[in-house]
A and B are shown apart, each in its own frame.
Chain A
Amino acid sequence: MADARLVAGLALLAGLAAAVALGPWLWPLDPTFIDPDPVRMLAARNLPGSAAHPLGTDQLGRDLLARLLQGGRISLAVGLSAMVLAVTLGTAVGVLAGWVRGLDGLLMRLTDAWLSLPLLPLLLVLLMLFRDAASRALGPEAGPFILIVAALGLTAWMPVARLARAEVLSLRERDFIRAAQGIGARGPRIIRHHLLPNLAAPVLVAATLCVAEAILLESVLSFLGQGFPPDFPTWGSLLHEGLDDIRSHPGRVLWPGLAITLTVLAVNLLGEGLRRQLDPRLRDL
């Protein structure tokens, strides 16, 4: 069963990633193209699915499949980047807390305090706060991307830190660590050569959860209007736009919604499969 989940999750995720990455070559339509001739543009609006536009066109004549693929690239990139940030930060904090006795109390209080902050409201306000500044400083595309990745990553590292700390605390008492200390290995070397490899398994599982959370959270933020700016097609913002037309064009909500659900499902399957595969004794996260 574990094998089946792992394989299924991996396959689904790989399929989605491939579709989204190879999209521009497989489906070369420009997602931002609006016909400058108004007559043609008006004729191209709100078309149902056809051979030329499998998912139809939106209210300005832009091809929805192309927008969905581009949105996928951005959404997946956001999810993966946020995960990398969260895992790096969380592992660093957790290992430090577990290894350096003096820092344990302080770091854990910090983690608890961070966990106490109400996530969604603060994210909403943070994004409102820095969005324009980020756009101006880093450009209209890179700005919001970096901001959202930073916001998601900075709010997701806590479970990873707790997990890493627990693992380090239990590993520290193990014989092979004591042996390494006995022959004179110093802290950083022990951490790099002995602790981190053993942390890889549980942290990897936590990482998959981070990706799922990040993708879901990005879509919620876009839904509430605080995510990426309007002409940036992420799955979340496509959903947000599509909700206005949900009755007349349910596809505009169903397709991005399906994409988000499948991706998150794939990541969760992968996570669960990994967990069972790597260490059946692992406690739940």
Chain B
Amino acid sequence: MIRMTALLGLMIPVAFAPAAHAQRGSDGTLRLIYHQAVSILNPYLSGGTKDIDAASLMLEPLAGFDENGHLVPRLAEAVPTVENGGVAADRRSVTWRLRPDLRWSDGSPVTAEDVVFTHSYCTHPEGACAQLAKFAGVTAVEAVDPLTVRVSFDAPKANPWIAFTGASAPILQKAQFAACLGAAAASCSEQNFAPIGTGPFVVQEFRVNDVATFAANPHYRDPARPAFAEVVLKGGGDAEGAARAVLETGEFDYAWNTLIPPPLQAELTTIGKGNFVTGFGGLVERIVLNLTDPSPDLPEGTRSTPRHPHPILSDLRVRRALSLAIDRGVLADLGYGSAGRPVCNLIPAPAEYASADTSCLTQDLAAAKALLDQAGWQDQDGDGVREKDGRPLALTFQTTVNPIRQDVQALVKSWWSEIGVSVTLRQIDAGVFFGSDPASPDTHQKFYADVQMYASEWDGTDPEPYLAQLTCDRIPGPENQWQAENIGRFCDPAFDAALARLQQSIAPDERAALIRALDTMVTTGQMALLPLVHRGRLSARANSLGGVVAGPWDAELSRAAEWYRIK
């Protein structure tokens, strides 16, 4: 198998480069290009990565994540743990202590009141805060003293650090956002487009969906940082244009999400002006098999519901055969290059949660054919398609409009045709597929097809809420307006029981083992989900840009304060 990962995309920690003793602002302008332009600078009103990234230049949380998924303090003095007394022994509360002498970019001091305010801003009953899930289970946030905050929970939490960590939940200035509570949040354009923060930069000019310019924050806590005096964050264009702007013409220093075809990745790297940085988080491109019947002959409201099990895919042997026919290595190489690795897990990272099962990585067409024979599917009329009881082995396979996904679909179709399955391909506009519109028949929740393919991940490093989506009561259907996430309609009482144990468990080793077991149940065990490619972030970085440490667990720009120009 051809692997192109040799040269490309090693996560190069650029700590090798001598840490220049730069003065603040001595390194001029940092030029960033994001091919999806930034729409808003308030991460509580937008879940989009690009918006959160841009905001992370200005707004900071109490603690962020490093490249391995471990917490590092930002506005907090230290990460609270049970050992240092920050986390209560009963794990029902956690106490954060702020650094002393922190200032907002307008000079005013940062106090615990700002943290308390941020909680009420996002949890306001009339509001629609995009990061509400980060405050799930939080009963109260109190300011014990001007520099200390206590967060209380309704039950013992295995992960008490979920609130106020990561670039998606930064601290807002109470004085600035005071008038923006509840329904008024969306209309506070002035605040949303120019939030006051503690980060290394302050916004100078923001043109929606176009460009944003920032200047170094004069009140930033480290006097020698940031090294750059100005940041220009330009939006628009496409991934290839962005990659070329960094790696070929040198017009920009850093490009976000440059997911381009592997041959192009190789070509641009050989030019030598820069390289790609990758970070592998939880994003897995997967095929989901519909365990219920999506047939259009069924009455509306019962299609794709557990009332009618799938006539073909309910058989585990058929599902296993479909998985055996796929060569995941080829898919990863063909579509993603250094930004993709073939994978058998639903939870491939952080490392302690990934099971070591690699059995699905070998393609075995003969074994697949044998399994189908065993299951009773034979080709009686010689047309290349198997039948059983008069029903042909025909599947519809849908995904979004996306050139890489189209290529993957074509390949998978050709492999499945080899083993006697007839495949009809469909492509749906991403806006519709992910649109969650209950009236549309083409959403991925409705799943009016036999097979569909897409990628998803979870927020933060703890996959428990993500696995909780696969329980029997989270199946989308008319009773919940199709707004639930168990897309494949997987239902296994053993899985639900194991998940309940996970939700009670506190000890890290026990949790890791349970997570691995749950993952195996749904993938190699029941073959309800066929993970294909573990996709990483792929960004382009110019050689002259130092201090960039790639990591998938936090915003890419959250550590821009440490970036500098390599002279």
- Point out residues on A near B: beta carbons under 8 Å: 34-36, 38, 41-42, 46, 59-60, 128, 131-132, 135, 140, 225, 229-231, 241, 244-245, 247-248
Contacts and interface: CB of A to CB of B under 8 A. Distances in A.
Contacts of A229: 401, 427
B118 to A, nearest CB: 39
A59 B407 CA distance: 8
Contacts of B415: 36
A248 B330 contact: no
B419 to A, nearest CB: 10
Nearest to A229: B427
Given A34-B410, A231-B406, A244-B240, A42 B334 contact: yes
Nearest to B419: A36
Contact of B426 (A38, A60, A140, A241): A140
B442 interface: yes
A36 B363 CA distance: 13
Interface stretch (B7-15, B103-111, B259-267): B259-267
A41 B363 CA distance: 15
A35 B410 CA distance: 10
Interface in B20-65: none
Contact of B267 (A35, A140, A244, A248): A248
A38 B411 contact: yes
A125 to B, nearest CB: 12
A231 B426 contact: no
Given A140-B426, A230-B401, A231-B425, A34 B240 contact: no
B175 interface: no
Contacts of B417: 36
Nearest to B334: A42
A248 B262 CA distance: 13
A230 to B, nearest CB: 5
Nearest to B331: A38
A69 to B, nearest CB: 20
Contact of B410 (A46, A60, A245): A60
Contact of B406 (A41, A46, A225, A230): A230
Contact of B330 (A38, A131, A225, A231): A38
A128 B427 CA distance: 13
B253 interface: no
A230 B424 CA distance: 14
Contacts of B411: 34, 38, 41, 60
B301 interface: no
B407 A60 contact: yes
Given A35-B414, A248-B264, 9 more contacts: A36-B415, A38-B363, A42-B330, A60-B407, A60-B411, A132-B432, A230-B401, A231-B425, A248-B263
A132 B441 CA distance: 10
Contacts of A231: 406, 410, 425, 427
9 contacts: A34-B411, A36-B417, A38-B327, A128-B429, A131-B429, A135-B426, A225-B401, A229-B401, A245-B261
A244 B258 CA distance: 13
Interface in B280-331: 327, 330
A230 B427 contact: yes
A279 B241 CA distance: 51
A140 B449 CA distance: 14
Contacts of B442: 132
Interface string B408-438: 0011001101100000111111001000000
